Structure 1
Amino acid sequence: MILELADIRIHAGQQAEFDIAIQRGLDEVITKATGFCGYKVNKGIESPERYVLMIFWETLENHTIDFRESPAFLEWRAIVGPYFASPPLVEHFTLLGKSL
């Protein structure tokens, strides 16, 4: 499983609207993508315009090719993109260890 981590910064004062938009985008677009396994989204306390989005994919290619090169990516960006203060920093990770 691959973790996509997106560090998102939005325009100040748009948190309430973005909260609705990101949930809509996740529910309507991301959850239907090939290889999608789950997600978590957290919003900043000290930095209220910062969000950390974690999406779990079966393979790296499910995100980088199947999703990013599909019309669904444009649909996702149309929903959440207008709120971005700058392009999100996106990186991918593999699991090294865990404790629950």
Structure 2
Amino acid sequence: MILELADIRIQPGKQAEFEAAIQKGVKEVIHLAKGYVSHKVHHGIESPERYVLTIVWETLENHTVDFRESPAFQQWRAIVGPFFAVPPTVEHFNLVTESA
């Protein structure tokens, strides 16, 4: 399993609209993607324009190739992209340890 972490900064004052959009995008686009396992969206307390989206994929290629190179990625960006203040920073992680 691969963890994708997207650090998202949105335009000020757009939190409610962005939260509706990201929920729609995950439900209608990402949830259907090959290799999608689960996701979480966290909203910043100290930085209210900051969100952290984590998605668990079966493989790295499920995100970087199967999703990112598909028309679904353009659908996703059309839903959430208008709220971005800057392009998100995206990184991938392997699990080292976890609690029981």
Query: Does the TM-score normalized on the shorter chain lie above 0.5?
Result: yes
Residue 40 of structure 2 corresponds to 40
Q: Which amino acid aligns with 1:70?
A: S
Partners in 2 of 1:60 and 1:25 — Cα distance?
A: 20
* 2:73 aligned with 1:65: no
Aligned-partner Cα distance in 1 for 2:48–2:98: 28
Which residue does the alignment assign to 1:98? 98
Tell me which amino acid in the other structure corresponds to 1:23: Q
How large is the RMSD of aligned CA atoms in angstroms?
Answer: 0.6
The secondary structure found in structure 1 opposite 2:3 is strand
Distance 2:49 2:3 in 1: 22
- Residue type of the partner of 1:38? S
- Helix, strand or coil: the match of 2:4? strand
Displacement of 1:99: 1.1
Deviation at 1:58, TM superposition (A): 0.2
**SS of residue in 1 equivalent to 2:48:** coil
Distance in 1 (alpha carbons) for counterparts of 2:28 and 2:64: 19
Q: Aligned partner of 1:21: which letter?
A: A
TM-score by length of 2: 0.99
Once the 2 structures are TM-superposed, how far is the Cα of residue 75 of structure 1 from its aligned partner?
0.0
- Give the 3-state SS of the residue equivalent to 1:99 in structure 2: coil
> For the residues of structure 1 that align with 2:60 and 2:16, how far apart are their CA atoms?
31
Unaligned segments of structure 1, at least 5 residues: none
Identity of aligned residues (%): 70
Aligned residues: 100
Unpaired runs of 5+ residues, structure 2, are none
Runs of 4 or more, structure 1, over 6 Å off, are none
